[in-house]
């Protein structure tokens, strides 16, 4: 199970190397070949169990593309002030409210804190405003700009300081389930062979505009694509079930539509049937906002039929996200099932 180590690595969009190195290290003996393209996407390939490679000309096993992104959201140092504090920008979508009163690791693991002006010093009206990124800064304890510059530089990435742990009843708590959960699932799949050719795409820079998958869509071809993601679960407000989007513990979530993709109803129906036959819980994503790598991949070449399966995740894009162990395992089981029955889907 790679999930713990993957989540604890720091790989913010544009700096995915630590994650990529880890995946290569663990998969190179298990796949038939791997390649890293010029933007940093990692592509691995594994032939089908009946030995046929994926080639569009001859009779062949179906090719299934599994995709997950390696990058996570984080911060980037944009300025070092005269007194040695660090101003920053967010890489990917982060709600500034979760950054307040937290610990971070800058550049080469220099510890820092993001504080907030003491409550006693704020006027009533001030307290009613939300804080924006411009109001926040990182304190590494430097006494001056020179001292700060000895330890960090502009352009350094800043990651959440957060450890993986078990939580509550059968939940996991960590940062970056989006989308190390997806990466972990693909890594586990690659331990076996299936009656289809596998292409695993570990993409980069999804969080800053689906940039890695754009490049992948230029050259990859497949008969079916499964994008494995984490999606925001808002299932903690009572009496608002219609707004929960997805729920923890109810299985992987299948997307119906999102900002960039309308998923084929026939494909969704077939997968629902498969899941039901084998007793794997499956829910639908009750929202249509946001987009993921499917947006690019389903338009690759002449088009690839695609589905997105997501693991429900509370507090996504924060240092303390939560997923259900069962949902992770059911997602893995469902993907395996789809691969084993790929002939019925294509």
Partner 1 sequence: MDLYRNSLELAQEIITQLSPAWGVSGYEHTLKPVLKDIFNRFPVEITDDFRGNLYIQKNGNQNTQTVMLAAHQDEIGLMVNYIDSLGMVHFANVGGLDQRTLLNQEVVIHSREAVRGIISLLAKEKGVSSSKSILLEELVIDTGYSAEKVAELIQPGDIISIVRRPLTLLNQKIAGKALDDRAGIAVMAVCINELTRINHRHRVVAVATVQEEVGLRGAVTGTERLKPEIAVAIDVTHAQTPDSKAQVNNQLGKGPVLALGPNINPQIYQGLKTAAEENHIPYQIEAVAGPTGTDARVIQLVGEGIPTGLLSIPLRYMHTSVETVSLGDIVDSGKLLAHYIASLPEDLEELSCI
State which residue, 151 or 217, has the beta carbon closest to partner 1. Answer: 151
Known catalytic residue at 206: yes
Residue/partner pairs of 329-332 with CB below 8 Å, 24 or more apart: 330/251, 330/252, 330/280, 330/281, 330/282, 331/181, 331/185, 331/228, 331/251, 331/252, 332/185, 332/188, 332/189
Candidate list 167, 260, 290, 326; residue touching partner 1; CB under 8 A: 167
Candidate list 130, 265, 302, 303; residue touching partner 1; CB under 8 A: 130
DSSP-assigned states of every residue in 216-276: HHHH---SEEEEEEEEE--TTSTT-GGG--S-TTS--EE-SB-SS-B--HHHHHHHHHHHH
Query: How many angstroms separate the CA atoms of 277 and 237, rounded?
Result: 32
* Residue 151 found at the interface with partner 1 (CB under 8 A): yes
Candidate list 5, 8, 37, 147; residue touching partner 1; CB under 8 A: 147
254 contacts 307 by C-beta, under 8 angstroms? yes
| Torsion sign (Cα): 318, 324, 325, 330 | negative
Phi, then psi, of 307 in degrees rounded to 5: -135, 155
CA distances from 311 to 74, 83, 89, 262, 342 (A): 20, 43, 28, 19, 21
Candidate list 32, 50, 79, 243; residue touching partner 1; CB under 8 A: 243
230 contacts 292 by C-beta, under 8 angstroms? no
* Residue 303 found at the interface with partner 1 (CB under 8 A): no
Determine the interface stretch with partner 1 among 5-13, 289-297, 301-309, 318-326 (rule: CB under 8 A): 318-326
Shortest separation between residue 27's beta carbon and partner 1, angstroms: 31
Determine the interface stretch with partner 1 among 68-76, 181-189, 224-232, 312-320 (rule: CB under 8 A): 312-320
Candidate list 5, 139, 188, 329; residue touching partner 1; CB under 8 A: 139
Return the structure tokens found at 65: 């593309």
> Which residue out of 16, 72, 206, 229 is catalytically annotated?
206
Contacts of 245 (CB under 8 A, 6+ apart): 231, 232, 233, 234, 235, 285, 286, 287
Candidate list 107, 115, 281, 305; residue touching partner 1; CB under 8 A: 115
Query: How many angstroms separate the CA atoms of 21 and 59, rounded?
Result: 35
Candidate list 29, 120, 265, 303; residue touching partner 1; CB under 8 A: 120
State which residue, 60 or 325, has the beta carbon closest to partner 1. Answer: 325
State which residue, 115 or 305, has the beta carbon closest to partner 1. Answer: 115
Shortest separation between residue 6's beta carbon and partner 1, angstroms: 20
Query: How many angstroms separate the CA atoms of 74 and 54, rounded?
Result: 37
* Residue 14 found at the interface with partner 1 (CB under 8 A): no
Query: How many angstroms separate the CA atoms of 224 and 221, rounded?
Result: 9
* Residue 76 found at the interface with partner 1 (CB under 8 A): no
Shortest separation between residue 97's beta carbon and partner 1, angstroms: 5
Site string for partner 1, 197-226 (x = CB under 8 A): ------------------------------
Candidate list 21, 55, 79, 135; residue touching partner 1; CB under 8 A: 135
State which residue, 287 or 295, has the beta carbon closest to partner 1. Answer: 287
Side-chain half-sphere exposure of 25, counting CA atoms within 13 A: 9
- Annotated active-site positions, please? 206
Query: Where on the chain is the footprint of partner 1 (CB under 8 A)?
Result: 81, 83, 85, 95, 97-98, 100-103, 110-122, 127-131, 135, 137, 139-143, 147, 151, 161, 167-169, 171, 173, 234-238, 240, 243, 314-315, 318-320, 322
């Amino acid at each position: 199970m790679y999930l713990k180590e993957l989540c604890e690595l720091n790989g913010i969009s544009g700096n995915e190397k630590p994650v990529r190195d880890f995946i290569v290290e663990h998969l190179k003996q298990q796949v038939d070949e791997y390649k890293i393209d010029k933007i940093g996407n990692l592509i691995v390939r594994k032939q089908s169990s009946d030995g046929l490679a994926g080639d569009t000309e001859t009779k062949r096993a179906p090719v299934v593309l599994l995709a997950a992104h390696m990058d996570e959201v984080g911060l980037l140092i944009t300025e070092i002030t005269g007194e040695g504090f660090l101003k920053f920008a967010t890489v990917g979508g982060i709600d500034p409210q979760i950054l307040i009163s937290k610990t971070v690791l800058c550049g080469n693991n220099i510890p820092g804190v993001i504080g907030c002006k003491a409550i006693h010093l704020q006027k009533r009206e001030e307290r009613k405003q939300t804080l924006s990124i411009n109001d926040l800064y990182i304190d590494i304890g430097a006494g001056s700009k020179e001292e700060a510059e000895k330890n960090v530089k502009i352009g350094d990435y800043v990651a959440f300081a957060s450890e993986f742990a078990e939580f509550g009843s059968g939940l996991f708590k960590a940062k970056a389930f989006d989308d190390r959960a997806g990466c972990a699932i693909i890594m586990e799949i690659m331990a076996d062979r299936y009656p289809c050719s596998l292409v695993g795409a570990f993409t980069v820079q999804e969080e800053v505009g689906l940039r890695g998958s754009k490049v992948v869509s230029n050259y990859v071809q497949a008969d079916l694509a499964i994008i494995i993601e984490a999606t925001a679960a808002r299932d903690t407000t009572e009496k608002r079930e219609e707004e929960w989007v997805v729920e923890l513990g109810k299985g992987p979530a299948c997307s119906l539509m999102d900002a960039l993709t309308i998923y084929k109803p026939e494909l969704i129906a077939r997968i629902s049937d498969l899941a039901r036959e084998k007793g794997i819980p499956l829910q639908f994503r009750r929202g249509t906002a946001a987009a993921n790598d499917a947006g690019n991949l389903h338009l690759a070449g002449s088009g690839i039929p695609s589905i997105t399966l997501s693991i429900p995740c509370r507090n996504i894009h924060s240092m303390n996200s939560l997923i259900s162990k069962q949902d992770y395992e059911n997602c893995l089981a469902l993907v395996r099932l789809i691969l084993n029955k790929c002939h019925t889907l294509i």
